[in-house]
Amino acid sequence: MLLMLFLVPALCLAGETVKVKVQKASLFDQPNFFSKTVATLQFGDQLELEEAVKDWAKVKFGQQRGYIHQSALTSAKVDVKTMVFSGSSSSGASQDEVALAGKGFTPEVEKNYGKTHPEMNYALVDEIERYSVDPNSLRSFIQRGGLKVSEGQR
């Protein structure tokens, strides 16, 4: 019995629903960041977990199947905006869970904070968040540098 517990995947059991907990993530056709992108997923998208493959999850998204890195997923059974009751055994959200969903430090809090602290240059933070690297250019950078495409580590 104990051995079986150790064999349970990091996320949860196959067939369960998992959700995307990051702004944007890619669904790949292989468990590799540079394989073909099957779909682009958004925060809150629900996926059906088929199996865990090392640090990746093989999932079904609508009619599409593919792999997504587990760090983009949560197995929380309530709204992903809160991590209050992760692993809750309740089938539906309680009143408190609903109330807390979407609360905490939100864009509204940041906006009000910015109003009372004009020295905070959020425009500069936004500029930094626009720094991005094109995936094809990154693959070329890695290959030309004699590096390897990692599949993540645990």
| Interacting residues with another protein (CB under 8 A) | 21-25, 33, 43, 55, 69, 71-72, 74, 80-89, 95-96, 98-100, 102-110, 112-113, 116-117, 119-122, 124-125, 127-129, 131-133, 137-138, 141-142, 144-154
Contacts of 46 (CB under 8 A, 6+ apart): 17, 18, 19
From CA 26, how far away is CA 33, in angstroms rounded?
A: 8
Q: Give the nearest distance from C-beta 33 to another protein in angstroms.
A: 5
- Cβ atoms of 51 and 14 within 8 Å: the answer is yes
Q: Give the nearest distance from C-beta 21 to another protein in angstroms.
A: 5
The answer to whether the Cα torsion of 81, 82, 87, 88 is positive or negative is negative
Q: Give the nearest distance from C-beta 68 to another protein in angstroms.
A: 9
